[in-house]
A = this chain, B = another copy of it.
């Protein structure tokens, strides 16, 4: 019997630990995470801190020192090409011996706007069962909170840094949103939240609706949806330390 690759949800606070663990993750998920010996994670130090938080809720089956925590190899340019296939195979070795492996990213679900997909793909290719444990993604929470179109939406990641390229990309996304009646979701590194918001007001049409969801599940969080014209009249103070999800729907 093969072990499984279990996709373990993380909190959405990026380790700020200002949300109570039991408020944001199911108890069953915390217990399952507490039982695992083998981990593949984005960052070993942060993963151990997360497991320590879990240990305060439900006892860990293995001491933090005993845990086998491996980091995901980092491809040079977000591509899988550079990583030799044997690297994935080595990481999946415990499952081949019948033991479950936990895959964890820095926030939310592994492989969703986060690394991990290549390992999941390798598990499918090796017929190792993959199973996601129930947890939140800031992207779908933002869709729910925005009240824009939740029957058709796309997550498109980060915009280019260069101002002209970013404006061109935003116009493309607005056109796509209008054509498909599809909500477009973007994210940005927190310290660039204000710059992205300013670009939205500068580039998008006045009637396009924009939703901003900041610090989801966190005590300081907020979310608001308004037209670009309304946002221009009363621009928000964008926090530079809270993760934010931006959504737009063209009129």
Enumerate chain A interface residues (CB-CB to B < 8 A).
7, 9, 12, 20, 22-29, 78, 108-114, 116-124, 129-137, 139-157, 182, 211, 213, 216-217, 221-226
Contacts and interface: CB of A to CB of B under 8 A. Distances in A.
Tell me which of A25, A111, A139 has the highest count of chain B C-beta atoms within 10 A of its own C-beta. A111
Given A147-B121, A150-B114, A152-B157, A26 B23 contact: yes
Contact of A140 (B22, B23, B140, B213): B140
A200 B23 CA distance: 39
B117 A145 contact: no
Nearest to A121: B147
B22 A113 contact: no
Contacts of A222: 129
Contact of A111 (B122, B150, B224): B150
B113 A150 contact: yes
25 contacts: A9-B136, A22-B28, A23-B29, A26-B26, A27-B27, A78-B151, A109-B144, A111-B143, A117-B148, A117-B149, A118-B147, A120-B147, A130-B225, A131-B221, A131-B223, A132-B217, A134-B136, A134-B141, A135-B136, A139-B140, A152-B157, A153-B155, A154-B154, A154-B155, A154-B182
A156 B155 CA distance: 12
A140 B117 contact: no
Contact of A132 (B108, B133, B145): B145
Nearest to A24: B134
Contacts of A216: 132, 134
A144 B7 contact: yes
A148 B119 CA distance: 10
Nearest to A151: B157
Given A132-B144, A133-B217, A134-B141, 14 more contacts: A7-B141, A22-B27, A22-B28, A23-B28, A23-B134, A109-B141, A121-B147, A121-B225, A129-B222, A132-B213, A134-B216, A139-B140, A151-B157, A154-B155
A147 B123 contact: yes
Given A29-B23, A109-B143, A147-B121, A154 B152 contact: yes
Tell me which of A118, A119, A148, A153 has the highest count of chain B C-beta atoms within 10 A of its own C-beta. A153
